[in-house]
């Protein structure tokens, strides 16, 4: 059985992930964690486990326990401190890290495996691969722009997924940053649309999430992938490729 802890368990995604882990036949929920200094006893948040502050992770989790992180960027520093003590593989869904924090995460990946993605749907890594193909094959006269739309309560603008997609395209295409436009409307779950056009043709590529469950589809495969690797920084594309060609 794979021991798994959820960091950021009180959040909307954390609650969904907790249920997902508990339903997995090959995983055991080993701990639920939230911001430092807070906590709830068994039965107040979860029927079997207490909700603990992140500073208690290394004291209660078994060595090698995988940690799924959907929290806040500010929590990363202490998360890495605790993860190092137990040698935890990490699955990171938190976004908004600074350049310094991203460097710290990359340093951790030299010691233990890290799967990091701004979006754990299956469609987004497929979209990334299509963007790489288009970046390499579209004639130079084609311009690209991105529109991302999310619900009105989403804080980051543009979304972490939109930034990641733009970086994927620009890394191969070159030139300046891809213009990205953000909309916060109603209860839209998540949509990313790319338009490519020159004077003769227009191509439109869209990923649309129909429910929050779409953002969960890659999480358990990411955990299974991470626990089989000794170290390294990986994305969801690596996970999907690994499912077809296991290490």
Catalytic residues: 150, 154
Report whether the peptide linkage leading into residue 158 is cis, meaning its omega lies within 30 degrees of zero: yes
CA geometry: angle at 121 spanning 240 and 47, to 5°?
105
Closest CA relative to residue 236, chosen from 147, 127, 150 = 127
End-to-end CA distance of the chain: 19
- Nearest in space to 193 (alpha carbons), one of 183, 208, 178: 208
Distances (CA, A) of 233 to 172, 216, 224: 20, 20, 15
């Amino acid at each position: 059985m794979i021991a798994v802890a959820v960091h950021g368990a009180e959040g909307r995604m954390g609650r969904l992930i907790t249920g997902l882990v508990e339903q997995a036949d090959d995983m055991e929920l080993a701990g639920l964690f939230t911001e430092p200094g807070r906590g709830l006893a068994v039965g107040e948040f979860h029927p079997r486990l207490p909700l603990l502050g992140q500073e208690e992770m290394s004291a209660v989790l078994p060595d090698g326990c995988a940690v799924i992180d959907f929290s806040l960027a500010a929590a990363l520093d202490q998360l890495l401190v605790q993860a190092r003590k137990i040698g935890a593989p990490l699955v990171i869904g938190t976004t908004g890290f600074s350049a310094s924090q991203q460097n710290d995460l990359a340093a951790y990946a030299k010691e233990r495996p890290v799967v990091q993605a701004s979006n754990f749907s299956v469609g987004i890594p497929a979209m990334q691969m299509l963007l790489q193909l288009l970046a390499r094959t579209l004639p130079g006269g084609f311009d690209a722009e991105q529109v991302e739309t999310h619900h009105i309560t989403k804080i980051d603008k543009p979304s972490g997924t939109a930034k990641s997609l733009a970086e994927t395209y620009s890394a191969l295409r070159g030139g300046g940053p891809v213009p990205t436009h953000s909309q916060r409307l109603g209860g839209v779950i998540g949509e990313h649309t790319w338009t490519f056009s020159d004077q003769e043709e227009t191509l439109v590529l869209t990923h649309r999430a129909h429910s929050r469950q779409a953002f969960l589809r890659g999480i358990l495969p990411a955990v299974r992938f991470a626990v089989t690797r000794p170290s390294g920084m990986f994305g969801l594309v690596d996970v999907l490729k690994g499912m077809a060609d296991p290490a």
